[in-house]
């Protein structure tokens, strides 16, 4: 069974390999430092039977962006600077790719983001995609590209909440934890 938990010193960061050097290096060298400094929080997916081995990870940080990065319909309703949460990184170890773990991590992130919105406010989840392939992945999940930067994507808090609820219900089935 997969569990998502905060990154700690007991997790084997060096054993993680998603096939993208920039994502591997960030986890190996930066994630704990940023977490210790309060710059971001990293969450890791681990298997119950091997809790030190990282199957995937994502990082969240608070963000304030200029509303010009929002889709047109949102810009006219909001002030110039808008609060949200940034999904800074999301990666899945090569051994676990194409098995639904990326979506499970995103659902977990959405759940945490909803708790942040409930306590502090925020209008949406922002993602800086590494490339067009990653941006397309997020677009398929309902994210919208910024008008001035196709690799900056946005998902509104309302959509995040409804998607998170629906996906949590889907992943609650016993099949969700079955390796595939």
* 137 annotated active-site: no
Q: How far apart are CA 147 and CA 165, in angstroms?
A: 28
Tell me if 109 is assigned to some domain.
Answer: yes
- Domain CATH code at residue 149: 3.40.630.30
Catalytic pick among 57, 58, 96, 138: 138
Name the residue range of residue 111's domain: 2-175
Task: Supply the pLDDT for residue 67.
Answer: 86
Task: Supply the pLDDT for residue 18.
Answer: 97
Q: In total, how many domains does the chain have?
A: 1
Tell me if 77 is assigned to some domain.
Answer: yes
Tell me if 74 is assigned to some domain.
Answer: yes
Tell me if 36 is assigned to some domain.
Answer: yes
Tell me if 64 is assigned to some domain.
Answer: yes
Q: In Å, how far are 35, 55, 101 from 11, measured between CA atoms?
A: 14, 10, 18
Per the CB < 8 A criterion, the answer to whether 118 and 110 are in contact is no
For the chain, 180 residues long, give each residue's pLDDT as a single digit of tens: 999 999 999 999 999 999 999 999 999 999 999 999 999 999 999 999 999 999 999 999 999 998 888 877 777 788 889 999 999 999 999 999 999 999 999 999 999 999 999 899 888 899 999 999 999 999 998 899 998 899 999 998 877 766 655 554 554 433 343 333
Task: Supply the pLDDT for residue 163.
Answer: 60
Tell me if 118 is assigned to some domain.
Answer: yes
**Residue 82 β-bridge partners:** 65
Tell me if 180 is assigned to some domain.
Answer: no
Tell me if 73 is assigned to some domain.
Answer: yes
Per the CB < 8 A criterion, the answer to whether 69 and 148 are in contact is yes
């Amino acid at each position: 069974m997969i569990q998502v938990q905060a990154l700690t010193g007991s997790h084997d960061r060096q054993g993680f390999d998603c096939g993208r050097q920039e994502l591997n290096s960030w986890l190996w060298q930066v994630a704990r430092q940023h977490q210790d400094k309060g710059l971001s929080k990293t969450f890791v997916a681990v298997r119950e039977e091997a809790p030190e081995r990282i199957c995937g990870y994502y990082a969240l940080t608070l963000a304030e962006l200029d509303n010009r990065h929002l889709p047109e319909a949102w810009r006219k309703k909001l002030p110039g600077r808008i609060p949200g949460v940034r999904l800074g990184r999301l990666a899945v170890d090569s051994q676990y790719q194409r098995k639904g773990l990326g979506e499970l991590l995103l659902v977990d992130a959405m759940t945490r983001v909803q708790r942040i919105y409930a306590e502090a406010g925020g209008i949406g989840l922002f993602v800086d995609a590494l490339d067009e392939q990653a941006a397309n992945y997020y677009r398929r999940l309902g994210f919208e590209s910024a008008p001035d930067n196709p690799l900056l994507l946005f998902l509104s808090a309302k959509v995040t909440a409804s998607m998170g609820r629906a996906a949590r219900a889907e992943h609650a089935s016993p099949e969700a934890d079955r390796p595939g």
